[in-house]
Amino acid sequence: MSACKSDPKEKKEEETSAEAETPKVVQVVTKSMEFSAPDTIPSGWNTFVYKNMSTEPHFILLDKYPEGVNIENTKTEVVPAFDKGMQLIMKGKNDEAMEAFGTLPAWFSEIVFSGGTGLISPRQTAVSMVKLDPGYYVMECYVRMPDGSFHSSMGMVKELIVIPEDSGMTPPEADFEIDLGSENGIRWNGNPKAGKNIIRVNYKDQIVHENFVGHDLNLVAMTPNADLQTLEAWINWATPKGLMSSTLPEGFTFLGGTNDSPAGSSQYFEVELEPGQYVLISEVPDAASKGLLKTLEVRAEQ
């Protein structure tokens, strides 16, 4: 009987080993206008599972801040400039809006946009795998309210500390791969299969587009009668009704993707696909003319 009895010390060591092998998952939940998420995570590869339980579309963008700057600087120096500029855009005063954006602090240009999730529709979950260096980050969403206000102005900014300790995770094996860049747009070979897919997105380059953001990748399910031109117009926040929840065109469901990331980097996202028509689109002005709006078909058997 004593031979069958487990040693408490051995059991403890087995549990510790099992915990060490458990993938690091960063759970993020939004119920209204907030990010409920850990304050600190390890560096290296992390899996973000973002549950959007609200009635608005959202995303996660991870901004790596320069040394000596924090979220309080965001609230006092960045948010007011964008709020003022947006109100001027909505009044058709674009030149004055550019002047307002010109008041952004010098350190704003030193932010390294380091990935996150693509747009996710209400009651959906986005899963993205991102590699992060140690440092101070701010998590944000700047989708707009029906009155034009940014979600970031409503509370959707949260600090995130990435510590030097590495997560120990390695990137997953991709089922499907996409190249993304300003020169060749969105490119891929073949089509993703129906069912669960892990998609790798390679950022061949990165530039700042006319709306002050870099290119990202959003996967969108579309109904047969959905109008792609309305989606292309909507995705640009720097227009009176762009990226506004109340003007979201019918027939589109956002399923996540990857957010702005530096040139040469790769991110992954996981998605369950049903047979049908989909769109890959970047959150930039005139996405189609830049090759950053493409359609693809998922069939029951690939």
| Inter-axis angle of helices 79-90 and 94-101, nearest 10 | 180
Q: Is the pLDDT of residue 88 over 50?
A: yes
Number of domains the chain is built from: 1
In a domain? residue 95 = no
pTM of the model: 0.90
In a domain? residue 214 = yes
In a domain? residue 87 = no
Q: Is the pLDDT of residue 21 over 50?
A: no
* CATH code (residue 116): 2.60.40.420
Q: How confident is the model at residue 18 (pLDDT cuts 50, 70, 90)?
A: very low
Residues 78-97 have a mean pLDDT of: 95
Residues 35-44 have a mean pLDDT of: 97
Q: Is the pLDDT of residue 19 over 60?
A: no
Q: Which pLDDT value is given to residue 191?
A: 83
Q: Which pLDDT value is given to residue 15?
A: 40
Q: Which pLDDT value is given to residue 300?
A: 84
In a domain? residue 164 = yes
Look over the chain and give the mean of its residue pLDDT values, rounded to a whole number: 91
| Per-residue pLDDT reduced to its tens digit, 245-260 | 999 999 999 999 999 9
Range of the domain at 220: 25-65+111-298
In a domain? residue 12 = no
The dihedrals phi and psi of 19, each to the nearest 5 degrees, come to -65, -35
Q: How confident is the model at residue 126 (pLDDT cuts 50, 70, 90)?
A: very high
Torsion angle (degrees, nearest 10) of CA 30, 234, 183, 257: 20
Integer Cα distance of 115 and 249 in angstroms: 25
Q: Is the pLDDT of residue 38 over 80?
A: yes
Integer Cα distance of 157 and 33 in angstroms: 9
Q: Which pLDDT value is given to residue 22?
A: 44
Q: Is the pLDDT of residue 295 over 80?
A: yes
